[in-house]
Chains A and B, each alone.
Chain A
Amino acid sequence: MTKLLQTLVDGVSVGCLYGLIALGYTMVYGILKFINFAHSDIFMLGAWVSFIVARALGWANPDQPGSLGKALFVLAAAMLFCGVLGFIIERLAYRPLRRAPRLNVLITAIGVSLFIQNTGQLPWLLGTQPQRMPALLPDSTLLTVAEVQIRQVDVVVIITVLVLMGALEWLVHRTKVGRAMRAVSFDTRVASLMGVPVDRVISITFVIGSSLAAAAGFLYASKYPGLNQPAHATWILLGLKAFVAAVVGGIGDIRGAMFGGLLIGMIEFFGAAYLSPHLKDVYVFSLLILVLLVRPAGLMGKPVLEKV
């Protein structure tokens, strides 16, 4: 029972993070029909920027108690930084290729990804050493249910993700710009004929997706404070799992991304807890293969007749 609940808590909170990252993949794919490989690097930078901001403000001192205010400040800073970066990347790297074949854009995205990882490791930027994220939230147990200690971080992770998801749902379904985003993702040319400034909508999409990834980066670093160096394989693997979440949920589908994230988180943690911890990546990618075989459009996506 204890093990079950503990696994559930971990699965949900990490699954929420996958979902948050998956949103960026899925929104960009929905509009531009390409996979933004640099998205996992934005997530990585979200974690690193959180660390750097916290350190610069002198909040890295372990004697100082954390507080919710500090955590929110750092979260906002990371989201802002990555939002701006996402805007710049789209502007400089992807927009000039708007009429180019999709393969060119895909290769460019890989280039952007490698660029971020490798410049990130420059000694005067983030360096090649792993770091430790200061605990901005008091690392306390919030409550104990059936001997399971529910940590404050996990609660903060889940609540933050729910709030961000709710905000995104509201934006996409209840605002003018959200309506424009849905229109552009359905048919870019017709949207432009209706007076929608397509390039601006694409920029907004990148800003939103990147700031959500930054939030995920911050939350991930809060849960797992050991911060790997920018080009470390963990980041790529985490990004890849989030991408799997987007595909499993149905790429292009916002609710699907969230659902896919939760599913991937659960499978990973339950597999690790009850089968074998060494194979946790295997479960995730087996699920991907299974979904692609049985429902190529994803669990929540609508089947489309398009070959990529």
Chain B
Amino acid sequence: MPLLEISGLDVYYGAIHALRSIDLAVEERQIVTLIGGNGAGKSTTLRTVSGLLRPTRGSIKLDGKSIVGLPPHEIVRRGVAHAPEGRGIFANLTVDENLEIGAYSRRDDRAAIDRDRERSLELFPRLRERLRQNAGTLSGGEQQMLAIARALVARPRLLLLDEPSLGLAPQVVKTIFHIIREINQAGTTILLVEQNAHMALHVAHRGYVLEVGRIVKSDDARNLASSDDVRKAYLGGV
């Protein structure tokens, strides 16, 4: 059974039909990437999984159990952490407090939370030097690191990442993707939304291509990366 299974999902924003009968599955311990152009519905898919949006039709199952209609904080409790588009850093809180908020829904003991916090800080050593700093003063790349670290402190089983590479320098993008792979190797399942299809398909096991609200293609990441239409549309031709 896949960890996350979406089927026949339709989502509207008022009259705008943003997702049309989406089917998507994420197997445990995999990285699955969802690629597509602007306005394709990638963020909408993640928002629906994490409970910010309610689908009109279709089902979303986590471990075989429906999570449709649950409030977002309940879905976090069930093991889904979402690092949203635009990072969503609390600029009025310190870096440390942002990390603490990430652990908000956890009911296990302090020591376990501290261990995961340590683990996040080991992945992003820059954050450690800035723990007492207001998160609003971090650079864009550091904010992205904080967004990922914060999601990890929730100790999710499924991590939803929405364009973690957006607006970052190539070197930082590399680091971020490297860390995404490390997180996955440590056992966390990841659903990764990206416009940087090249990097995303490079780290992912599977990929889905979304075009104006429909899944038009899904395959092994490697096959997708070498398929002609994907190369033309998302990998800059050649």
Contacts and interface: CB of A to CB of B under 8 A. Distances in A.
A190 B104 CA distance: 12
Contact of B91 (A180, A186, A195, A197): A186
B76 A193 contact: yes
A179 interface: yes
A182 B90 contact: yes
Contacts of B52: 189, 192-193
B40 interface: no
B56 interface: no
The A interface, classified by DSSP as helix, strand, loop or mixed, is helix
Interface string A54-84: 0000000000000000000000000000000
B84 A193 contact: yes
A116 interface: no
Contact of B90 (A187, A192, A197): A187
A193 B88 CA distance: 10
Nearest to B105: A195
Interface string A185-222: 11101111111111100000000000000000000000
B102 interface: yes
A73 B54 CA distance: 48
A8 to B, nearest CB: 34
B71 interface: yes
Contacts of A199: 71
Nearest to A195: B105
A57 to B, nearest CB: 42
A176 interface: yes
Given A186-B92, A190-B90, A195 B104 contact: yes
B90 A196 contact: no
A176 B92 CA distance: 15
B93 A196 contact: no
Contacts of A180: 101, 104
B73 interface: yes
Contacts of A148: none
A195 B70 CA distance: 12
By size class, the interface of chain B is 20 to 34
B101 A191 contact: yes
Nearest to A173: B97
A182 B82 CA distance: 19
A179 B101 CA distance: 7
B73 to A, nearest CB: 5
A186 B101 contact: no
B50 interface: yes
A183 interface: yes
A205 to B, nearest CB: 16
Among A180, A195, A198, the most chain B Cβ lie within 10 Å of the Cβ of: A195
Contact of A190 (B71, B84, B92): B84
A195 B77 contact: yes
A194 B92 contact: no
Contact of B92 (A182, A189, A193, A197): A182
Contacts of A193: 50, 52, 72, 76, 81-82, 84, 88
Contact of B101 (A185, A194, A197, A198): A194
Contacts of A187: 88, 90
Contacts of B118: none
B28 interface: no
Contact of B76 (A176, A185, A195): A195
Interface in B108-165: 150, 154
Contacts of A186: 90-93
B191 to A, nearest CB: 14
A191 B93 CA distance: 12
Among B52, B73, B105, the most chain A Cβ lie within 10 Å of the Cβ of: B73
Top 9 nearest A-B pairs by Cβ distance?
Answer: A195-B105, A190-B88, A195-B76, A192-B72, A195-B104, A197-B73, A193-B82, A194-B101, A186-B90
Given A179-B100, A191-B101, A194-B154, 18 more contacts: A183-B93, A187-B88, A189-B84, A191-B90, A192-B52, A192-B71, A193-B50, A193-B72, A193-B84, A194-B104, A195-B73, A195-B154, A196-B73, A196-B101, A196-B105, A197-B71, A197-B73, A199-B71
17 contacts: A179-B101, A182-B90, A182-B92, A186-B90, A186-B92, A186-B93, A187-B88, A187-B90, A189-B84, A190-B90, A193-B82, A194-B102, A194-B105, A195-B73, A195-B154, A196-B73, A197-B73
